[in-house]
Structure formats: structure tokens, C-alpha cells
Amino acid sequence: MGNQRGRAIDLCDKKLIIVLVDRARLAGCRLKVATSDIEIDFKTYLRWKQDCIDKRKGPLTPVKHKLSITEQDEIIKLSTSKEYMDYSPWIIVAKLADLGKYVASESSFYKVLKERKLLAHRSKSKPANRTKPLPLVAHGPNEIWSWDITYLKTLVRGQFYYVYLMMDIWSRKIVGFDIKEQESMEHSSKLMRKLCMLENIEQNQLVLHSDNGGPMKGATMLATLERLGVAASFSRPRVSNDNPYSESLFKTLKYCPKYPDQFESIHEAQQWMIKFMDWYNNHPHSGIKFVTPLERHNGEDIEILEKRKKVYLNARNKDPSRWKGRNVRNWQREEKVYLNHLQKSKDTDIKMAS
């Protein structure tokens, strides 16, 4: 509590101080000694303890408009009936009003259902089950790619150019891109065939992760992946966290200092994306120990990180007093990169089979 004086103390800190002082008193310590050790006055402790007592007495009279047991049972009976079991309280109340009947408000329906633990899926059909995608782990380049589509504004309101962008999650390298005037599985299939040829992707080597958009799950795209021997992995519907690498890349793209708000032509957009790709792939990345994606993709980061480690070790050996027994900065290479993995420390590394 070294510096409690002169600053505001929130309620949680007050309660913690009260608990500590009470324990000290039970152990035989005098009140003034215990409070002085914690650097507060004993009168302050007494005032805080009085303030922490719940002085609310609750309502003195029962609520007159409270729902009776009979009314609550009727709400349960209606909500679980065959006619209304598939509807929310909002729809139930509206349908009852159409019949000229009023039982209770929507909030009362919700409250009663929550108290009876019925505020859940009440139909006989199974509730929607959107399981998390299989965890993936990459041990090197060209094992797992992530891709998505983002839009670029044009000079015409409501008209956009669409950027198809693929990256390697292990090295963070932008593998390639294409820009079109519409989203199409034919465009994504063509780009995938081109990039697999440029990167010399072999059968059953690569996993391609994406969201659930039409260009990603279209029949043409899936057939292309099957011919190339590329396994497909998909995010859950409307869950952007299942594809974090592409989402992060898009934020970097859109928040670049020189990012133009609008593009005059698709040629201008392509030229800008070429410059961005060159900058991104040759710029130090915080997620891979501040080496560039190209250096990591090509294996040059091993020597770079080893040199950095030696520099820090030499600095510590030269002046150990400045380090005070602490370890030097961790320049160890990240050998594994996880996608949708809850615990990176687990020994069970799963890689989706084709």
C-alpha cells in the first residue's frame, strides 16, 4: 500500500484494507499498529468499515403490481405451448394482442422465463451449434494460408473495388493479391491456381483458411482446391476472430498513413497495392520478433535473431549490474504459429488433413 496517501482509493481497495486489518487484529495486533503499518489512520479505517456496511433496508411495502403465481404459471404455459414455443416473448405478446388478450409485458415474460430457467431454446428441434474450427499449427512457410476479401472505395458512391488478399500465417508474408470489380469464386479460383504455381505448392502441403463467403465456399473454388490438393478450413459464420491474421492485415492496410480514401481507377488501386505489398513484406513485424515477413519466409531470420541474442548477452556480461540477474530479451525464433488454438503450451499439435 506504499503510496495510498494523496490518491483516491476505490471501494475494492478499501474492502481489501479492511480485511487485512481485521486479520491482523484477530492475530493479536493492536488496531493503531495495524493501520499504521498499512499507512492509514485508524479513524479512516473505522470510517471505511462503517461505509462498507450495506444500509439498504429494501422496500417497506410489497409491490402492488407484482405478478401473482397464477399469472406466472400462465406465462409459462403460453411460452411452452405448441403454438408459441418457437417464438420470442416479443412475438408472443404481439400475437396475444391480435387475439384481444393481454397477459403481461415482454419484460415480464423474460423475467419469469429467466427465473424458471426457460429463457433458452424451447423448441423440439436442436439449437444451432456453431463449433469452433479445428485448431491448426504451422511449422514453416507455405503450410497454412489465410485469405479474405476487402473493398476499396471509388469515386462513385456505392461502387467498390474488391481486393483478394492471401497471406502465409507462419511468416506473415503477403503471398499475392488481385483486384476485381466484383466478388466471384471464379476470380478467387484463378488467383489460387496462380499463387500455388508461383510458390511451388505440392499436393497435400497447404491448408487454406477463410471465412464463409460465397467466393470462399463456392463450388468452383472448392473444386479448384481439391484439384490442387489444398485442404480447406473455414471460420464460423459472423465470427471474425476465427480469421485473425487476415483481419489484422486489412486493418494495417486501411490505416496506412498514405492510404487514399478513394481510388480513381482499378489501375491506380493495383499500383497502390503493389507498393503496399512490397512495404509490408519488407517491414519489421512485431508478431515475428521484428524481422520482416520475407526474411522469415526465406529463413534469413535465424541468423538475424541469433546475432541479436549475442548482442544482448554481451551487453549483460559487460555490465551485469544493470541487468540485476534478469534474463536478456527473448530473441528466440517462434517455430510454431497457431490458428484458432486456445492453449499454445499444449503438446498436441493438430494439422488438418486433406
pLDDT in tens, 240-289: 778 899 999 999 999 988 899 899 999 999 999 999 999 999 999 989 99
pLDDT in tens, 70-99: 999 999 999 989 898 888 899 999 989 998
Q: Is residue 145 a part of any domain in this protein?
A: yes
Q: Is residue 128 a part of any domain in this protein?
A: no
Residue with cell 472448392: 222
- Say yes or no: 46 and 185 in one domain: no
CATH number of the domain encompassing residue 332: 3.30.420.10
Q: Is residue 338 a part of any domain in this protein?
A: yes
Q: Is residue 175 a part of any domain in this protein?
A: yes
344 in Cβ contact with 136 (< 8 Å):
no
- In terms of average pLDDT, the best of 128-142, 292-306, 335-349 is 292-306
Q: Is residue 332 a part of any domain in this protein?
A: yes
- Say yes or no: 106 and 244 in one domain: no
The pLDDT confidence band at residue 4, using thresholds 50, 70 and 90, is very low
Q: Is residue 3 a part of any domain in this protein?
A: no
Average pLDDT over residues 107-134: 78
* 83: containing domain: 69-115
pLDDT in tens, 169-212: 999 999 999 999 999 999 999 999 999 999 999 999 999 999 88
- Say yes or no: 346 and 252 in one domain: yes
Report the SS3 class of residue 75. helix
The pLDDT confidence band at residue 117, using thresholds 50, 70 and 90, is confident
DSSP string, 21-39: HHHHHHTT--HHHHHHHTT
The total of structural domains in the chain comes to 3
- Say yes or no: 213 and 321 in one domain: yes
- Say yes or no: 328 and 227 in one domain: yes
- Say yes or no: 278 and 338 in one domain: yes
Q: Is residue 4 a part of any domain in this protein?
A: no
* 2 pLDDT above the threshold of 50: no
- Say yes or no: 179 and 218 in one domain: yes
Average pLDDT over residues 92-116: 91
DSSP string, 149-197: EEEEEBSSTT-EEEEEEEEETTT--EEEEEEESS--HHHHHHHHHHHHH
Q: Which amino acid is at 62?
A: P
User: How far, CA to CA in Å, does 90 sit from each of 13, 71, 106?
Assistant: 43, 17, 6
- Say yes or no: 234 and 352 in one domain: yes
Q: pTM for this one?
A: 0.63
pLDDT at 215: 87
Report the SS3 class of residue 321. helix
- Say yes or no: 279 and 333 in one domain: yes
Q: Which of 61-70, 153-162, 255-264, 282-291 is the least confident region?
A: 61-70
